Structure 1
């Protein structure tokens, strides 16, 4: 096992000092190889040392302007600081350079969501879902963008797919409840809100939705 691989394993295990030591050795042994800088940058990002992580990713790019994973790492650094525009630019650059993984499409979609560009986020989250079809969180966020862009039928089908993967996904039930209201299916909405609250008793949005429906039903009975 080479030092980069071992360092990544240490990082995943939370052994940051051991990982840092190995990545430092990699850089000392191969100072013109961007990989060591990228791995050290990822480690620093996990440690929330964004300033130094940025320097390492930029050094990797200086050594190899086509290092797609360096741009991806830089995008994550900006995203973690809620700097969505520069994060978006770096994720797009990583994709232009050939990074074809669900994570980069997912993160780009999230950047656009956070900038309330819901329609623009849809194709990226769709591609992320295609590359990771069993990832319920990617699928859920894809459904959320569809709903926010008023593609309610597609959003409904997507949230139902989320529940197919994880029947205990409270937010998917909540959103299906909201869509049921738009479909004038009050009983269906109430059932989804109740299910969301069964799964997550402190789900405030579901509780509010349930309360509003119950008040509406009371008014009808008067």
Structure 2
């Protein structure tokens, strides 16, 4: 029986306690297999046992310095803990060790944005959209990054692509509203603020954006 496969099946079913039990058995059966430590660390992360999770990722790396997924999992955990410098370092190492996934590029980009290194983040977020062409969040965050760099026309394209994938992405509508407001296209800005509010009635920023546009229109008349 491949305990790691069984454990992953339990994880996919959301049976975290069962998954943990199987991964512990896998570690006892083969204490030199880094995969079992990574898998168990991922379960501990979900269960909120962050300190122990990190120890298991570190053990996996100790057993195999090229265990790229251990660096990636540790990066995700550091990002959750808002330790963005450590997260960035882990995602960069995962990339050097051979992870070419859109998710790793995406998380590296987000870590750099959190560290206010927006220009450095841009190519990683762009790459994440190339590798995950149906991931609405990838296009949304790439758009946000472009908007922060005041590349408004390009940002609009990415927000629109996000909405092609997920038409109910309230934040994409809100940011399109901001972008069109920046371009002084009040009608389109209002349309997107209203759409954001239709999807999420308590979207405070969209509510404020709509109020500003309506106020501006009334002052013109």
| Mapping for residues 91-130 of structure 1, pairs under 5 Å | 91-130=91-130
TM superposition score normalised by structure 2: 0.96
Q: Corresponding residue for 2:185?
A: 185
Residue ranges of structure 1 left out of the alignment (5+ in a row): none
Q: Corresponding residue for 1:24?
A: 24
Distance 1:63 1:31 in 2: 9
Residue ranges of structure 2 left out of the alignment (5+ in a row): none
Q: Corresponding residue for 2:82?
A: 82
Consecutive aligned runs of 4 or more in structure 1 exceeding 2 Å deviation: none
What is the CA deviation profile of residues 16-59 of structure 1, one whole-angstrom value per residue up to 9, with x for unaligned ones?
A: 22111211111111111111111111111111111101111111
Deviation at 1:143, TM superposition (A): 0.6
Distance 2:220 2:158 in 1: 32
Q: Corresponding residue for 1:39?
A: 39
| Mapping for residues 181-220 of structure 1, pairs under 5 Å | 181-220=181-220
Distance 2:17 2:176 in 1: 45
- Alignment length, in residue pairs? 221
Distance 2:164 2:70 in 1: 36
Q: Corresponding residue for 2:72?
A: 72
Distance 1:201 1:161 in 2: 23
Q: Corresponding residue for 1:172?
A: 172
Match of 1:100, SS state, is: coil
CA RMSD of aligned residues (A): 1.2
